[in-house]
Structure 1
Amino acid sequence: MKKLYLTKSSQIALNEILYLKSDENYTTVHTTNQERLLVARTLRVMQERINDEFTFIRISNNHVVNIHFMNGWRKEDKKLLIILEDGQELIVSRRRISDFREAIRKTPKAILLKKKQSQVKNIKTL
């Protein structure tokens, strides 16, 4: 199991990360157990450390999402919203929509999401 080193003595398994959120020169790591870890690194540095472009997708200047914890996505008022397993919704920036679509197409979970979404009226497929 791959791990992300937050500091010299602190690490977290990649499969425990829901998403990363930028806060200028800091990054908040949101985990599956509702824990938030603040790291003194930029979001770009954290994404480079993860080094997994098809599991962790940068959806905006402020967010990198683990697509394994997505329940789906939907369009609302010309915006694409990602719905996470914890019910939180994050907006995909316009310039990152094509990267998001490409990553979703190359992910096995995308097949399951598309089947699930076809059963739910509120959530649209890409």
Structure 2
Amino acid sequence: MLSAVIIDDEPNAVNLLALRLSQHCPQIDVVATCTGSIQGVEAIKIHRPEILFLDIEMPQMNGFQVLEAVGDIAFSLVFVTAYDRFALKAFKYSALDYLLKPIDTQELIATIQKIEKQHQTSPQQIQYLQQQLTGTAKVLPDRLALPYQNGVTFVAVHNILYCESDDKYTRFYLSDGQDYLVTKTLREIQELLEERDFLRVHRQYLINLNRIKKFVRGEGNYIVMDNNQSIPVSRGQKDRLMERFGWL
């Protein structure tokens, strides 16, 4: 069993989440539910939960202030939010789990299954998210959090050369020669980076268009990246690639 605390200033939201967890996630033991942020801080300190479900916009103290008051974060964090589409990008770039109100049961189940396999939330992830959500200009983050087996690393988006599908995982290849295997599918990464000059040129590869060295056409089209790695280009994606660059 994994212990959990729920903090949300909407009583109906708290009760519904607790009910969904009892019905669909029997491995979760909800040890406390709180509709006040100050009460929530005390509950976290008393119960030391393994999972915290936390709303962000609350009176008295918002979600970030609750986390600051708690201090050491020794749990997996799931934000429960009604934020807009742009703000949700910030959650994804921070590699933080979130549930969008009203909560979808299948998304809740998938989130719990992921938490059972991964590391605890890091303070760096929360700090990065807070910076993005409190910024006045709606610009996409310039760094991406990559959760891997030993923790989380933040990489500059422009330093990502390409991503390669590895079944249900994705391997990131960086300009400094390092690579990271993360627990996300290439489709998920594509949705996150396609607005940042990344293109899916093959079912297995997503490339940074700004890090292409050359494109070789022929019977087997392929691209050579900055690190001299050759990446195949599928027939269906060749035209899209040429359109992006205005190649003849």
TM above 0.5, yes or no, is yes
Residue 10 (structure 1) shift = 2.8
Q: Structure 1 residue 28 and structure 2 residue 28: aligned?
A: no
Q: Which residue number corresponds to residue 55 of structure 2?
A: none
| CA contact 1:20–1:28 (8 Å) conserved in 2 | yes
Q: Which residue number corresponds to residue 204 of structure 2?
A: 62
Q: Which residue number corresponds to residue 3 of structure 1?
A: 143
| CA contact 1:4–1:50 (8 Å) conserved in 2 | no
* Count of paired positions: 105
Relative CO higher for 1 or 2, CA cutoff 8 Å, sep ≥ 6?
A: 1
Residue 46 (structure 1) shift = 0.9
More helix by share: 2
Give me the whole-angstrom Cα distance separating, in 2, the residues matched to 1:36 and 1:18.
10
Residue 48 (structure 1) shift = 1.3
Unaligned segments of structure 2, at least 5 residues: 1-140
Greater mean deviation of Cα atoms: 90-99 or 29-38 = 90-99
Q: Structure 1 residue 71 and structure 2 residue 232: aligned?
A: no
SS in 1 for 2:184: coil
Greater mean deviation of Cα atoms: 39-48 or 7-16 = 7-16
Letter in 1 for 2:206: V
Give me the whole-angstrom Cα distance separating, in 2, the residues matched to 1:4 and 1:48.
13
Deviation digits for residues 65-107 of structure 1 (CA, Å, limit 9, x no counterpart) = 111111111123x1211011221111101111111112222xx
Give me the whole-angstrom Cα distance separating, in 1, the residues matched to 2:203 and 2:244.
17
- In structure 2, the CA distance between the partners of 1:26 and 1:97, relative to structure 1 (3 Å rule), is same
Give me the whole-angstrom Cα distance separating, in 2, the residues matched to 1:3 and 1:96.
27
Q: Which residue number corresponds to residue 121 of structure 1?
A: none
Query: Percent of aligned positions with the same letter in both sequences?
Result: 26
| CA contact 1:60–1:91 (8 Å) conserved in 2 | yes
> Which has the higher Rg, Structure 1 or Structure 2?
2
Unaligned segments of structure 1, at least 5 residues: 106-124
Q: Which residue number corresponds to residue 109 of structure 1?
A: none
Q: Which residue number corresponds to residue 114 of structure 1?
A: none
- Length-normalised TM-score, structure 2: 0.40
| CA contact 1:56–1:67 (8 Å) conserved in 2 | yes
1:109-124 mapped onto 2 (5 Å cutoff)? none
Q: Structure 1 residue 43 and structure 2 residue 186: aligned?
A: yes
Would you identify which runs of 4 or more consecutive aligned residues in structure 1 move more than 6 Å? none
- In structure 2, the CA distance between the partners of 1:51 and 1:71, relative to structure 1 (3 Å rule), is closer
Q: Which residue number corresponds to residue 102 of structure 1?
A: 243
Give me the whole-angstrom Cα distance separating, in 2, the residues matched to 1:56 and 1:3.
14
Q: Which residue number corresponds to residue 234 of structure 2?
A: 93
